[in-house]
Chain A
Amino acid sequence: METSRKHLEDLNEIRQIMERSTKFLSLSGWSGIFAGLFAIMGVIAAYLYLDGGNIYYDESLRMLSGDRQISPRVFLLGDAIVVLILALISAYYFSLKKAKRMGEKMWSPVMRRLLFHLAVPLVTGGLLSLVLIWQNNVNLVAPLTLIFYGIALVNAGKFTHREIIWLGMAQILTGLAAAVWQEYGLYFWGAGFGMYHIIYGTTLYLKYDRKGK
């Protein structure tokens, strides 16, 4: 009996070590919730700026430039970048906190792999969006940012909690829908970057964070 318990412990430990050495598990649910909240604030700011949605956001970018202090193109780009920075800061902050609590190192080979697989599609999509904005092809920016972000999440999925793959799939589908109904880009953007993140963050929190305390 005694030896069989030792064997069971051995097997459990092997499984844990395998998981810990291949997956970054300190991703906090709170960072998802906060990223979602910041995105929704960004969407509201854009909505108000575009006269409560009375003006299609694609048209406004070309026509309204004259009577505004800053051009809508610059405003929307700045808005998106502020949201991105706030989301990244909160992701870093909450993950660092959780990593400390779990006694896990933040900057590990797994983390580097995770970031690399996340960054390749994300940077590609980001640069492509900048090119499109520069060429006045703003219509496609909302769908493409959603699609590339979704691909990045699916790609990074094998290095962290599996739930992130579902988040990525949802972003891709929303991005495709946003490409079909381009005039509603802002709403799809709000759903993808705002609502989905909050749902995902809450799921992660309920499943892993609360239990871990």
Chain B
Amino acid sequence: MKNPIRGLNKHFESRVRLGVMSVLSVNEQADFNTLKELLEVTDGNLASHVRSLENQGYLEVNKQFIARKPNTTYRITKKGRKAFEDHLSALESLLK
């Protein structure tokens, strides 16, 4: 039998990363401030978690200027969605 714990993704152990993936999996895109407000975290904290997810190739970053203010938006990648769904199935199967 396959060990269900192996399905859990180490990169999603942090609540913040899990939160970011949750938001992006149901929204086409989200900007930095929206994520910050939804997850109730500080700038620095969110930035570091987002960067690590980006490094994994789980999300796509788009930087632009709106009315001369920098605005960063995020989208989930195919790879990220797959990883997140696998992680959710693993969590569910652990609880059965």
Contacts and interface: CB of A to CB of B under 8 A. Distances in A.
Interface residues of B, number: 19
Interface string A34-60: 000000000000000000000000000
A21 interface: yes
Contacts of A10: 15, 18, 91
B39 interface: yes
A21 B38 contact: yes
A27 B88 CA distance: 30
Contact of A22 (B19, B27, B39, B95): B27
A62 to B, nearest CB: 50
Nearest to A22: B26
Q: Is the interface of A mostly helix, strand, loop or mixed?
A: helix
Interface stretch (A12-20, A132-140, A143-151): A12-20
Q: Is the interface of B mostly helix, strand, loop or mixed?
A: helix
B30 interface: yes
Interface residues of A, number: 15
Contact of B95 (A11, A105, A109): A11
B91 A13 contact: no
Contact of A7 (B34, B39, B94): B94
B52 interface: no
B66 to A, nearest CB: 13
Contacts of A108: 34, 37
Interface string A83-123: 00000000000000000000001001100000000000000
21 contacts: A4-B94, A4-B95, A8-B95, A10-B91, A11-B88, A11-B91, A11-B95, A13-B18, A14-B19, A14-B22, A14-B88, A17-B19, A17-B39, A18-B23, A18-B25, A18-B26, A21-B23, A21-B38, A105-B37, A109-B30, A109-B34
By Cβ-Cβ distance, the 9 closest A-B pairs, closest first, are A17-B22, A21-B23, A14-B22, A18-B26, A7-B91, A22-B26, A18-B22, A17-B19, A21-B38
Interface of B: 15, 18-19, 22-23, 25-27, 30-31, 34, 37-39, 88, 91-92, 94-95
Interface of A: 4, 7-8, 10-11, 13-14, 17-18, 20-22, 105, 108-109
Given A7-B91, A17-B23, 5 more contacts: A11-B95, A21-B23, A22-B26, A105-B37, A109-B34
